[in-house]
Amino acid sequence: MRPLIISFVLAAGLAVGMPAQAGVHVGEQQCSFETDYDVLVKPDGITFEREDGTPGRVFMHDGAVRVDGRELAVSAGDARRLREYEGQVRSLLPEVASIAREGVDIGFDALTTVVASFAEDPDERSRLTRELNVQHKQALAKLDNGLGSGQWRQHGVQDLMENQIGDAVSTLVSTVTAKAVKAALSGDESQVAALEARADSLDHSIETQVNARADKLGERAEALCPRLARLDELQQQFEFRLKDGSRLALVEHQAEHDNEASAKTKPEAR
């Protein structure tokens, strides 16, 4: 039963894990950026908001910035940097949404491959496929209504993976596990051999149909790194300061292998 378990875990892992890596947090190699803000992009400006921490709300548009309801005086240089910052965020979110969408597609395609491999009964296969199609459409609709409409929520993608796609994975796990247990308890070596043969076939199908797409998706996610790095550079160049003397830091860079949380901002002398 080992090949069966490995194959199914691979398919489920693609479904649950890949889109989550396509968010604002990218953690590969020496590129690791994250934000603890929710982000709302609208034509009249961008809002960064969080429940814990200071500042709690930041609004920027056309070179101006308002922090916790107070508009800050900025230099001409900072106005240019704020405009670039806003433009970068506006261009990033649609790409993040596109990556997340492709990740969901890849995950559900992997699950559909599992159904094709292990659902012998035509009626059962049709039922499971229909259920997956409905869940797939629901997952995409939630993405479109969130990231696709310019809303980055801290746990939005993670919740989608755990709830929407997690339900699909749970359904298939119960189906495949039942078949594996039944074959093992029957003592019929031919049934066990047949399941293992399907697992081997699934390994090959996922490798040829899914892994290549997943690799390309990972490359797309990594391509966001320079743009996230640019946001960090702009933050480091801001001349204006918050009330406590710190720079505004909406995106954080996490050093590789750093096990301690980086400070959000550090007070600096004028």
The pLDDT value given to residue 67: 98
Long-range contacts at 240-248 (CB < 8 A, ≥ 24 apart): 240/65, 240/72, 240/73, 240/74, 240/75, 240/78, 241/268, 241/270, 242/54, 242/55, 242/67, 244/54, 245/269, 245/270, 248/55, 248/58, 248/65, 248/67
The pLDDT tens digits for 111-131 are 888 777 777 778 888 888 898
DSSP 51: S
Q: Stretch 29-33: mean pLDDT, rounded?
A: 66
Q: Which of 121-125, 137-141, 168-172 has the lowest mean pLDDT?
A: 168-172
Please state, in angstroms and rounded to a whole number, the distance separating the CA atoms of residues 144 and 98. Answer: 9
The pLDDT tens digits for 44-53 are 999 999 999 9
**What pTM, to 2 d.p., does this model score?**
0.73
The pLDDT tens digits for 82-113 are 999 999 999 999 998 898 888 888 888 888 88
